[in-house]
Chain A
Amino acid sequence: AQSVAQPEDQVNVAEGNPLTVKCTYSVSGNPYLFWYVQYPNRGLQFLLKYITGDNLVKGSYGFEAEFNKSQTSFHLKKPSALVSDSALYFCAVRDGTRGGSQGNLIFGKGTKLSVKP
């Protein structure tokens, strides 16, 4: 069965410092990995994804994530955090070799990012 874990409920960062939001996954086939962001009282917005190719994926708002197959991780990073980055971040995984319900996107429980001035 596929699963995704976000080990930190909350990450606190000072503005201007680099940030990392961690995600690890477990799938039996090829992982398709996604990051979404949810601002207060809003829906989920797609940030970036890894399907195949370059392990470093660049996305919206200056975010990037690195796919690490040996560590089964897909951590979200940004070189310099902004106060406006404060939000809830969700990692999600899908098994790219499966169809139907076996290929559904599985979401982590979310990590709250707080960036202080």
Chain B
Amino acid sequence: ETGVTQTPRHLVMGMTNKKSLKCEQHLGHNAMYWYKQSAKKPLELMFVYSLEERVENNSVPSRFSPECPNSSHLFLHLHTLQPEDSALYLCASSLRVAPGVSSGNTIYFGEGSWLTVV
């Protein structure tokens, strides 16, 4: 148990569907992240939120739409995805975004949501 919970763990969706991934952290952190992990590719940072404000969007296609209603919850809304979007989507959190010398900068990951687009 990492303190970061992701649902669903597995999702199969058609290219015309609309679905959402949910992430909840119980660590009292202020920053939350979405990462994409594809086979044989490095971990890709997608979005960063700090205190519910999006502070980074790494050129992610608009078919991925994040939402952070509060500092404990993060969503990734999915619509008209492509088969190449099939991957493991990892949510993570940390105490804050800006680097510093405290241990608060460790990023803690959830178990991931396996997405298959058919």
Contact = CB atoms under 8 A, between A and B. Distances in A.
Nearest to A104: B45
B101 A96 contact: yes
A99 B107 contact: no
Contacts of B98: 99-100, 103
A100 B98 CA distance: 6
Contacts of A90: 43
Interface residues of A, number: 28
A21 B70 CA distance: 38
B56 A104 contact: yes
Q: How large is the interface on B (under 10, 10 to 19, 20 to 34, 35 or more residues)?
A: 20 to 34
Given A34-B106, A51-B103, A96-B99, A43 B43 contact: no
Nearest to B114: A41
A95 B90 contact: no
Interface stretch (A12-20, A60-68, A105-113): A105-113
Contacts of B90: 43-44
Nearest to A52: B101
Given A42-B112, A45-B109, A107-B42, A99 B99 contact: yes
Interface string B68-106: 000000000000000000000010100001111101011
Contacts of A44: 43, 90, 92, 109
Given A43-B6, A51-B103, 6 more contacts: A43-B111, A52-B101, A94-B99, A100-B56, A103-B99, A104-B48
14 contacts: A43-B4, A43-B6, A43-B111, A46-B109, A49-B106, A52-B101, A95-B99, A96-B100, A96-B101, A97-B99, A100-B98, A103-B99, A109-B41, A109-B42
